[in-house]
Every structure is written in C-alpha cells, then in structure tokens.
Amino acid sequence: MSDALWSERQKSTWRTKVGLAEMLKGGVIMDVTSPEQAKIAADAGAQAVMALERVPADIRTQGGVARMSDPQMIRGIQDVVTIPVMAKCRIGHFVEAQILEALGVDFVDESEVLTPADERYHVNKHEFKVPFVCGCRDLGEALRRIGEGAAMIRTKGEAGTGDIVEAVRHLRTVTDEIRRLGALPPEELMTVAKELGAPYDLVVEVARTGKLPVPNFSAGGVATPADAALMMQLGAEAVFVGSGVFKSADPARRARAIVDAVANFDNPHKLAEISRGLGEPMSGMSTSTMEDGQRIAGRGW
C-alpha cells in the first residue's frame, strides 16, 4: 500500500500516455464543433472526439488563421460525453498546449490543420502530463515527433478534402520504410537515421521490432466507411474522421456506419451492408488539382 498522498504519486508516465493510445485502437475519433455534435458522435459509437471550432473543410474555404478552440467550447463538450476529449494546438504553440492540459483534455493534437505558430520547432511534448498525437507523411517525420514525446502518430493525409489518396500515400510510405529498415544490416542504420532525419535510437528500435514504438493511426481524407476500412486494411490501428461526418448529408448515420466499418474492416459482406443508403458524402475536393499553397500536409518540420 502506498503511503504517499494521491497528489504526490508519480502520474502520467510514458506508459500511461502510450497506454491510452493503446486503448484507442480499433475505433474512430471524430471531429466535432459543438456539444450537440459530440453527443451525436458518442451515440454513434465514436471512441473519442476532437473538439475544434471549424472542421478542416471550413478552415480551407474560410481561410484566415486557425487557432486553438475556445476553452468554453471545449468544456461544453467535456460536460456532455464520457469518452476521451481531444483538442488541437498549433504546431510549436506550447502555450496553447499548456492551456489544453490545464483544461484536462485527454489528448492534444499538435496539428498541421491549424496555422503553425513556429516555422522551425515543434512542442517539447515530454514536458507535458497530457499525451500528444502528431501527424506524419513518412517514417522520419514520425520518429522525429516520437523523439519529441508524441505518444501516438497519425498520417497527415490531406485534411478537409474527402480525398483519401494522401492518407494512403503517407501510410504506405511509413510501412514501406519500416519494412525496409528491418532488412538492413546494423552498420547501415546510422546513415539511414541521418537520411531520415530521425533519432538513431528510434531507428534501431524500429529496425528490430518492425513497428513504431507508439500506435499508428490514420487521418486526413476519410469520407466513407470504405475509406475507413481501407486505412485499417493497410495497417492503420484506428481512424480519425474530420470533415467526413458533419459535412455529409446525414451525419448520425454516416458516423455510425464509419464506426461499424472500422469494427468490421476485414469483412466485405458486412461492409456492403454498412455502406448502403447513407445519403450524400461530403462533396470534397481532389488533391490532384490543388495548388501547393492549398495543401496543408506540408506544414511541420
């Protein structure tokens, strides 16, 4: 039995941070912008919600600087759901992260979807009690974020487009690079670490274990149950859905269908049933016709 006071006990260790990420495998995390939407997401079976002021599709069309959400709105969402509540801070904006931690959010997403606050450095995530998730496009970026303390990694995809192609590219890139590392002799790993721009110790660990040291989720462009199941079959361990739910014609039905699809991602007969008659998906925009300036996946360093 511990003699220490509750407040004196060691809390929020690396293991409890990555542990929460483990507990979020096999499910769906949904972007919500109000307590009403959070209720719809939770009732549909979302395992967590991401509280933000505008979904990525609206950030794209409305422009301007996208920042951390109003704490009052985050509190409002925390009050109506029992599932974990996540929220986004700008890349490098450690004060937004401090505020989110003070609010007691369960995960902070240091996200390229918001306008970056620092063009060179990300938040030192080790300093925080709250766990962080960060986006990546390739293995080097994933390992840099883990090196900074991220307890969960997600693909960036191209948020707010409803086009899955970038998320597929990013996930395939990460898994291909992990496989390649596993085949290399030890003397090549230092040079590979240099080329990837990744911490050497993490490169050695991935080469040995064949996987990232933290859960690897997918985000950015999921609009249909089939998109979600595709990412799961490609090896994602859970799925974030941003604009795909609440920019569709029937959010409650689509939310539930995406949850059911992730739970049955390898069963095409069930997926066929789940995908029937959901109404219009978000209209979306093709990433292949986008100008470089319109892409947000390039944010982060």
Q: Which is nearer to another protein, 159 or 259 (CB)?
A: 259
Under the binding rule (CB under 8 A), the answer on residue 72 touching another protein is no
Q: Is 88 a catalytic residue?
A: yes
Residue of 88, 125, 156, 247 with catalytic role:
88
Quote the strand ranges of 117-273, DSSP E: 132-136, 152-155, 216-217, 239-241
* Candidate ranges 55-63, 97-105, 136-144, 276-284; the one touching another protein (CB under 8 A): 97-105
* Candidate ranges 41-49, 110-118, 136-144, 184-192; the one touching another protein (CB under 8 A): 41-49
Q: Is 39 helix (H, G, I), strand (E, B) or coil?
A: helix
Under the binding rule (CB under 8 A), the answer on residue 141 touching another protein is no
Distances (CA, A) of 121 to 32, 124, 147: 28, 9, 13
Q: Pick from 33, 37, 47, 111: which binds another protein (CB under 8 A)?
A: 47
Q: Pick from 83, 134, 212, 239: which binds another protein (CB under 8 A)?
A: 83
Under the binding rule (CB under 8 A), the answer on residue 228 touching another protein is no
Cα 25 to Cα 68: distance, rounded to the nearest angstrom:
25
Under the binding rule (CB under 8 A), the answer on residue 45 touching another protein is yes
Closest CA to 90 of 71, 119, 68: 68
x/- map, 20-39, another protein, by CB under 8 A: x-xxxxxx------------
DSSP string, 236-295: -SSEEESHHHHTSS-HHHHHHHHHHHHHTTT-HHHHHHHTTT--PPP----GGG--GGG-
Q: Which is nearer to another protein, 104 or 197 (CB)?
A: 104
Give the residue numbers marked as catalytic.
Answer: 88
